Structure 1
C-alpha cells in the first residue's frame, strides 16, 4: 500500500470539504435577513442557531459514526459522509425559511465526519515513524480549505447570489467521492466486529483526556462564536456594502491565515 498516495488523495479531499463547508459562512446572516429575519436581536439569535446546529449534531453523532467505521471500515465511512453532506448541502439552495435552513444545517452535521474519518484512516495506513509527518500534512489541507473557502464563498455570493453557492458547496463535497472510490485503497485491516469498545465512563476516567476535552471545548466556543457573528459585525463597520459577503469572508480567512502561520512558530 502506497501511504504517500493516500496522504495526497485525502489532502485534496479535505481541502475540498473544508473549502466547501466554509463557503457559506460569510453570508448565512445575510440569507436569514433575506428570509425575513430583519430585527437585529432575532437575526443574531438565528445566525447563532443556524451556525451551531451543524456542530451540535456532529458532536452527537461522532461516537456513532466511529462505531460504524469500526464495523464497516473507514473508507466506507468516508463515502457515507461525502454523500450525506454533499446532497443535504445542495438542498439548502432551496430552503426558503429560517427553520428549513436550521433543519438542513442540523442534518449536515448528522451525516458529517469526513475530515475526522480521514485522520483515522491515515492512522491505520501510515507507518508509525511517519505518522506525525502524514497527519500534519493532512491538517494543512483542512487549514488551506478554511482559508480559501470564505473568500470564494463571499465573492460568489456577491456576484451570483447566495443560493448558487450551496450548489457549488455540495458539488465540491460530492466530488471527493471520485478519488475516495476509485483511488483510495481499502482499509488495510479488516474491521473487527467483536472488539470491545470502551464506555464513555471509562474514556473520561482519564484525567488528561478530560482536561484536553475541556480546553478544546472552550477554544472552539471562542473561535466559532466569533465566526458566527462576523458578518453582522462587519456590517456594523462598513454598512450595507455591495461587497459585504466578500469582506466578511476576507475577515474569516485572515483567521485561518493566522492559524496556519502560528503552526510554523
Structure 2
C-alpha cells in the first residue's frame, strides 16, 4: 500500500484501481456496479468522505460494512437520530471521575481534570484518536436536524475535532468515511460539498438476479430470475415501503428452505409478509393477486 503524508496526516491507500474494488467486494458477495466501485476507489485515493444517498434498503450500510472487512479496518459507527448531541457524536467529560479527582485533590486547582484521562471518546473523536485503520460509518445522517448536522462539518473537512479545554485533536491517519442518507430530508450544501457523492438505487432485475445467485447458489437460474422480476414488479406498485435487497434475499432463502421451485401468484401472496412489512402493503398485494370470479 502506498503511503502519502499531507498536513501531518498519514494517508494509507487500500485500493490500487477500480477493478480491485469490484473484485474485493465480489469476494464479499457484494456485487458493485462500476459507479459504486469508482466512487469507493476515489474516496480512498482522495481521502474524501463518501455520501451514499438513496432509498432505504438498497445496500448502502452493507457497502460500508463490506469495505471495513475488505480493508481489515476497525469499524466505528455513528447511528444518527433526532436529538443527538455533541456528547453522543463527539465526546463528553467523565463527570463522575472528575468529581472523584476533585474530592481527592489537596488543592483548589481543578484544571488537571480537563485532560485526556477524563475524556470519553464518542464515534467522531474515536475515529480521530484511533491508531489503527478505521472505517467510520455515519448512518442515516438525514435523521439529524440542521444544528446537529453542523457538528460533523469540522470532522468532514479536516478529520479533526476541537475540544475547547484541550485544543484540536487531529487524526494521525485518514479514516475511510461513509455517510448514508435515505433522503428523508435535504442535507445542507455545507455537508454535501465536503463529500464525494453516490446515488444508490435498487438494483436492476438482472443485477438483483446476480446478487441472489451469489448469496443463495442452490437456487436455479430460472427461479432467481423470477424472484428478481417479481420484486421489481412490486417496487413499481404504490407501496408505502418497497422491498429491500435484504428482504429479497430473505424471500429467496425462504423459497429454498420450503423447496419451492415455481413462483405463482399464490406463492407471492402467501409470502407477502416476508417481502413487505406494512399491513396495508400486504393487503394491497394480496388483493391484486386474488383470483377473480
Structure with the higher fraction of residues in helix conformation: 1
Report which of the two structures shows the higher radius of gyration computed on alpha carbons: 2
Which fold has the larger relative contact order, with Cα–Cα distance below 8 Å and residues 6 or more apart in sequence? 1
Scaled by the length of structure 1, the TM-score of the pair is 0.23
Scaled by the length of structure 2, the TM-score of the pair is 0.22
